[in-house]
């Protein structure tokens, strides 16, 4: 079971140190923390597994605002998220660029959490499987790859896919690609256990609920074997 915390654009270096000093990872649960770039060094120093929130495909070059695989490796970062829906929505990320980022990271020795998921309009139009097939189909086949299913309509909205809907989507993704699949989309302490108990759900990518150490610890405990 893998529980990943995506802090998005929250937490300074000081706040990162404070959180990780207070956090105790439950046994038998793998945990990844994904802080902002400016907090990566402090996060790595905690001894926890740390992923960046994005990574570029080029080794270097005129890519203002981007960070290379080698830069992350030098810091001791172990992986990166790619293709998050907020990157797709606000910053022009596409299936192609997501695949290029994933390929570069995996080739460079980083783990990857690649995000996929349909919008509310696509779900209502019955296009969920077509969207997932397109998004998953471009991803590289690699043992370092993890997929996160994030229905876009559930991210930051307080709405969550029912356990049955999550299981259906996860089973479909696994039929396309034999990798662990995390659920993301308003995961909270009060719904984590039911979501994580589904047979196709291998963990969670947690957003807002990961910012509070007690909340995140409760979600991690929900993923621990009983």
Question: Could you list the active site residues?
Answer: 84, 150
The CA distance from 179 to 192, in Å, is 21
d(CA 193, CA 145) in angstroms, rounded, equals 24
Q: Kindly state the DSSP code that residue 206 receives in the 8-state scheme.
A: E
Structure tokens given for 61:
């070059």
Token readout for 220 is 């991690």
Q: Which residues contact 35 (CB under 8 A, 6 or more apart)?
A: 7, 11, 16, 42, 43, 50, 53
For residues 203 and 223, the answer to whether their CB atoms sit within 8 Å is yes
Note the helical H segments in the chain: 13-22, 40-45, 69-75, 85-91, 95-107, 120-124, 128-137, 163-176, 189-196, 213-222
């Amino acid at each position: 079971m893998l529980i990943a915390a995506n802090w998005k654009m929250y937490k300074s270096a000081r706040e990162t140190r404070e959180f990780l000093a207070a956090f105790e990872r439950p046994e038998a649960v793998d945990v990844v923390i994904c802080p902002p770039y400016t907090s990566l060094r402090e996060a790595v120093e905690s001894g926890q597994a740390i992923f960046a929130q994005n990574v570029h495909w080029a080794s270097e070059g005129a890519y203002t605002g981007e960070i290379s695989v080698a830069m992350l490796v030098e810091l001791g970062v172990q992986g990166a998220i790619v293709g998050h829906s907020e990157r797709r929505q606000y910053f022009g990320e596409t299936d192609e660029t997501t695949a290029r980022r994933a390929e570069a990271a995996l080739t460079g020795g980083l783990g990857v959490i690649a995000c996929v998921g349909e919008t509310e309009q696509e779900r209502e139009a019955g296009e969920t499987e077509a969207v997932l097939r397109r998004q998953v189909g471009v991803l590289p086949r690699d043992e370092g790859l993890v997929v996160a299913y994030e229905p876009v309509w559930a991210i930051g909205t307080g709405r969550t896919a029912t356990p049955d809907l999550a299981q259906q989507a996860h089973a479909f993704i696994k039929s396309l690609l034999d990798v662990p699949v995390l659920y993301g989309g308003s995961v909270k302490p009060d719904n984590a256990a039911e979501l994580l108990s589904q047979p196709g759900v291998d963990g969670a990518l947690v957003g807002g609920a990961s910012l509070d150490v007690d909340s995140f610890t409760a979600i991690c405990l929900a993923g621990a074997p009983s």
